[in-house]
A = this chain, B = another copy of it.
Amino acid sequence: MPRKRNAHRNADTPTLADVARLAGVSDITASRVVRSKGPIADATRARVLAAIAELGYIPNRAAGSLASSGSTLMSVLLPSLSNIVFPDVLRGIHTALTETAFQPVIGVTDYDPLIEERILLSFLAWQPAAVILAGLHHTPTARRHLEHGRFRVAELMDIDGDPVDIAVGMSHWQAGYDTGRHLVQRGYRRFGYAGHSIASDDRARARYDGLRAALKEAGLLLIAEERVQGPSSTIAGRHLLEAILRKAPGLDVVVFPNDDMAMGGIFHCIHAGITPKEQLGIFGFNGLDIGQAMPLPLSTILSKRFLIGKTAAEKLLESRERPAEKTIINTGYDIIVGATA
């Protein structure tokens, strides 16, 4: 025996049909009001709106999504949440989505393309309107789905490569290169690098490569180089600078892959009585507020994380269909001279 209609439905959850009945219109008319789509007489709209308010109607997005084969969900895949960089990106995305009907679903990949692929596939089950992810490198399977899906795609942070649809970011190689040029020009000659395990972070590697290229051009090279296993952190930066100076006492500047670690470097200097810039240049990456609030503002490169997220989401909203032309947006970066290099 077939179950009775609505047998398992929560009696106090009104549906669009209830709204329509109360307003004395058809379902589809009520639907048009809810979605603000199509021509509706003001009087009709008012009646439907009143019915919605009276019943406390909440649309069922699953039903809408099924019927229209599309959703208001935007999948966001980020490498990490520990690093403030990605919350900043997410903040930008969220800002662009406020006042729109779109909602971000977020996943964290731990910089692992296989995890990225797995999460991507599970997100696609929601028929998202768009997918945002970091970087231009994905597994072949992921790339295939991104290429062929009926959704917009934005690849963030990096623009050195061939995007699926939209890329928003900066050239990390160039940033590393400019770091090298800048520091050479300021008179530094004996370079050290205090990084983290690079396998996981394409962009840190690109900056590192750019830095080395600039040094090579100037007839220089990295005299010393240390890396921590595991995630980067301020305390790691502090210990790493101590270690690198023990091995190579003659350095006159040390470059870090990010501000967190560079601040650890500054803290080591304070602790060890080393005067930043005069005795040892310290250079970071990201341009975090806290680095600029220090007594000696950190010398670094300002990446525009919030802007990257915001620009990407805005671009994605411009058109539901993927345009014929790919878009690459370079948000650039600023060298912050600061007081530590």
Residues of A at the B interface (CB closer than 8 Å) are 8-10, 12, 58-63, 65-66, 69, 71, 73, 81-82, 84, 86-88, 90-91, 94, 101, 103-108, 121-127, 148, 150, 233-235, 237-238, 260, 263-264, 267, 270-271, 289-290, 292-295
Contacts and interface: CB of A to CB of B under 8 A. Distances in A.
Given A62-B66, A234-B289, A150 B10 contact: yes
B293 A264 contact: yes
Contact of A293 (B94, B234, B294): B234
A34 B292 CA distance: 52
Contacts of A125: 58-61
Contact of A60 (B66, B103, B108): B66
Nearest to A263: B290
A237 B148 CA distance: 50
A106 B76 CA distance: 10
A24 B81 CA distance: 44
A104 B71 CA distance: 16
A233 B127 contact: no
B235 A62 contact: no
Given A270-B295, A293-B234, A81 B94 contact: yes
Q: Which 3 A-B pairs have the closest CB atoms?
A: A62-B65, A234-B293, A61-B125
A235 B107 contact: no
Most buried by B among A58, A62, A127, A233: A62
Contacts of A121: 58
A81 B71 contact: no
A10 B151 CA distance: 12
A116 B62 CA distance: 22
A139 to B, nearest CB: 14
Given A87-B81, A233-B293, A270-B295, A122 B103 contact: yes
A90 B81 contact: yes
A84 B88 CA distance: 10
Contacts of A65: 62
Contacts of A127: 60, 62
Nearest to A268: B295
Given A105-B105, A233-B293, A238-B293, 15 more contacts: A58-B124, A59-B125, A60-B127, A61-B125, A62-B66, A62-B126, A66-B66, A81-B91, A81-B94, A87-B87, A104-B105, A105-B106, A234-B289, A267-B294, A270-B295
Contacts of A62: 61-63, 65-66, 71, 126-127
Contacts of A270: 270, 295
A28 to B, nearest CB: 14
Contacts of A66: 60, 62-63, 66
A260 B290 contact: yes
Contact of A235 (B108, B260, B271, B293): B293
Nearest to A103: B105
A233 to B, nearest CB: 6
A170 to B, nearest CB: 21
Given A84-B87, A87-B87, A90-B81, A290 B290 contact: yes
A123 B121 CA distance: 22
